[in-house]
Amino acid sequence: MRNIRLDLCYEGTRYRGWQRLSGTDNTIQAKLEQTLSRILGEEIEVSASGRTDAGTHAKMQVVNFHCESEMPCEKILSELRRYLPEDIGIYSCRNVSPRFHARLNAKEKTYIYRIWNSDAPCVFERKFVLIDPRELDMDAMIKGAGYFLGEHDFAAFCAQSKTKKSTIRYIRRLEIQRIGNEIIFTVTGNGFLHHMVRIMVGTLLEVGRGERQPENILQLFAAKRADAGALVPACGLCLVEVEY
């Protein structure tokens, strides 16, 4: 069985997220699997480095899939580019070792979250940012961000889940920069729970608005979901890097 890796990007605006869902084919995974199955003439299932939420974007997503077809990678690439919708783009297609698994082998992922922090118009990037002109204390947010670094129990920073899987994750980097009218959060970690980045950013925004002290974040590890901040909208979030 061949194992093939695709590096891709997508604008998530009109999709119900990455993951295939019953009752709709309006997910990125479904579009990709349908297109690959048609091109290769066999049923294809893809594994991604991780799921992205409805409305969340990816500048870099990595998937792999197994197939019997002997179609050359260049041909698969050109066929995908021909048939996929214009909001899904394929950077590359290559044969990889049978052991490569896009999710299980991912060592680190990096997300950015963008906030348009101004009354000025944001017409051209509006689908890729959260528009919020309220004043934010950068120093307080940067101080708060520091408390996230390292290994912690992120149970309070994840959507309620029925499974009893570990909620411990390691955050290596959490940077907050102001560039013009934008505030950009960049977060790198070994894995992310459902909604984790969006709740971390929501909590830091509450710190930035003075509604929560930076030190309060220390008390949120192993706390309950209700203790942490609000979930910010999906449109500001973008997966930008996957490390293997």
By annotation, the residues acting in catalysis are: 53
Task: Report, in Å, the least distance between residue 89 CB and its own copies.
Answer: 2
- Is residue 135 a contact residue for its own copies (CB under 8 A)? no
Q: Does 128 bind its own copies (CB under 8 A)?
A: yes
Q: Which of 87, 108, 137, 182 binds its own copies (CB under 8 A)?
A: 87
Q: Is 90 in the site for its own copies (CB under 8 A)?
A: yes
Residue-wise DSSP of the chain: -EEEEEEEEE--TTSS-SS-BTTB--SHHHHHHHHHHHHHTS---EEESS---TT-EEEEEEEEEEE-----HHHHHHHHHHHS-TTEEEEEEEEE-TT--TTTT--EEEEEEEEE-SSS---TTGGGSEE--S---HHHHHHHHHHH-EEEE-GGGS---SS----EEEEEEEEEEEETTEEEEEEEES---TTHHHHHHHHHHHHHTTSS-GGGGGGGTT--GGGS-PPPPGGGEEEEEEE-
Question: Which one of 14, 38, 75, 81 is in contact with its own copies (CB under 8 A)?
Answer: 81
Span near its own copies by CB under 8 A; candidates 118-126, 145-153, 157-165, 182-190: 118-126
Residues from 59 through 78 that contact its own copies (CB under 8 A): 59
Q: How far is the CB of 83 from its own copies (least distance, A)?
A: 13
Closer to its own copies by CB, 181 or 190: give it.
Answer: 181
| CB nearer its own copies, residue 38 or residue 126 | 126
Q: Determine the interface stretch with its own copies among 23-31, 86-94, 100-108, 204-212 (rule: CB under 8 A).
A: 86-94
Backbone dihedral region of 195: left (phi > 0), alpha (psi from -120 to 50 degrees) or beta?
A: left
Q: Based on CB atoms, which residue is closest to its own copies, 98 or 121?
A: 121
Tell me the number of residues near its own copies by CB under 8 A.
21
Residues that bind its own copies (CB under 8 A): 8-11, 57, 59, 81, 86-91, 119-124, 126, 128
